[in-house]
Chains A and B, each alone.
Chain A
Amino acid sequence: MSLIPFRTKRSSGMEGGNLATLADFRHEMNRLFEGFFSRPTPFTPSWFEATEPGQWMPAIDLSETDTQIRVRAELPGIDPKDVDVSVSGDRLLISGEKKSCTEESGEGWSHCESHYGAFSRAIPLPESVDPAKVTARYDKGVLMVELTKAPSSTSRKVPVLTK
C-alpha cells in the first residue's frame, strides 16, 4: 500500500497568496493571452490592462478612422502635468496620479466616491501607429489622445489587373 502525500503549499505553486504572487500570476496570464491572440481586442477584461496592483483605471472610449485612432479618457480633477501618455509598440499607456485636495487642507473626507492616487491603463491598439505622431490634449477633465496609424498599416486599395 502506497501512501500518497498531501501536496504541500510549497509544491502547489500557489504559496503566499499575497499581492506579489497575484501580480506574477497576472503577468503570466498577460503573457499567455498576448501570445494567444496575435491581435488583442481593444477591450480585454480590465484586470488584464492594469499595470500595477492597487491602481485605478480611467474609463475610455476608442474610435478609429482610416488614418487615425482616437482615445478619450475621463480623468476629472487631474493636473495635466501629472498625466503621462506614451506609446510602446502596439500599446498606448496612460498613467499618472490624482492628488487628493485633503493633502492640502489637512481635512478628512466624510464621504468619498472618487478615485484618488496612482492610475494606469495600457490600451492595446488595433493597429500599429507612428510614435512620432501622437498628440494628447486635456480639457475639462477629459484626455483626448490622437494617434496616427503607421503608413504600412493604412489600408490601400489594390487594383486587380487583367492580362
Chain B
Amino acid sequence: MATTIAKTESRAGAAPAQAETPLTYQPNVDICDCGAEVLIVADIPGARTDGIDVSFEDGVLSLHARVPARELPGRSLGQEYGCGDYRRSFRLGDDFDASQITATYRHGVLTIHVPRLAAVRPRKVEVRAG
C-alpha cells in the first residue's frame, strides 16, 4: 500500500507540457489513502462543472478544468492570482480499478475517488482461538 502511494506522490507534480490556453495552472492537491480507495482532492475555484474533464489513459489519471474568463468591470486595483485552466496528471500504480473511478465537484473542489482492485484492498484477518 505504502509503495503505491509513494509512487503517486513522486509523480504528482508531472504536469503535461502541452496547453491549449496561454495560461494553465497546476491546482493544489491533497491525496488521502483511505485503504479501499485513494482520494485526490484538487482546488479548482472558478471552474464550471461542465468544463471539467477527468480521464484515465495508459496508467495516467489527468484532470483538466476550464475556467471562464473573469468579468470584473471597472479598473483593477490589483490581482493576486491568475485566471486560466487547471491541469494536472497523476501516474497510478497497477492495483487500482480504473473503470470505477468517480469524481464529484462542490464549492470549487474536485474530489476524485480512485478505488483499489478488490484483490489488493487491505483486509483484516480475524484470528480465531484454536
Q: CB within 8 Å of B: which residues of A?
A: 42-43, 59-66, 68, 70, 72, 74-80, 101-102, 105, 107-114, 126, 138, 140-142
Contacts and interface: CB of A to CB of B under 8 A. Distances in A.
14 contacts: A61-B70, A62-B76, A65-B75, A70-B73, A76-B43, A102-B32, A107-B32, A113-B28, A114-B30, A138-B107, A140-B46, A140-B47, A142-B45, A142-B108
B43 A70 contact: no
A140 B107 contact: yes
A80 B48 CA distance: 18
B76 A76 contact: no
Interface in B18-70: 28-35, 41, 43-48, 70
A59 B108 contact: no
Interface of B: 5, 8-9, 12, 28-35, 41, 43-48, 70, 72-81, 107-109
Given A112-B30, A114-B28, A140-B108, A72 B43 contact: no
B77 A62 contact: yes
B29 A77 contact: no
Given A111-B29, A114-B30, A76 B12 contact: no
A66 B74 CA distance: 8
Nearest to B81: A59
Given A101-B41, A140-B45, A64 B78 contact: no
A80 B46 CA distance: 15
B44 A110 contact: no
Contacts of A141: 43-46, 107-109
A101 B73 CA distance: 36
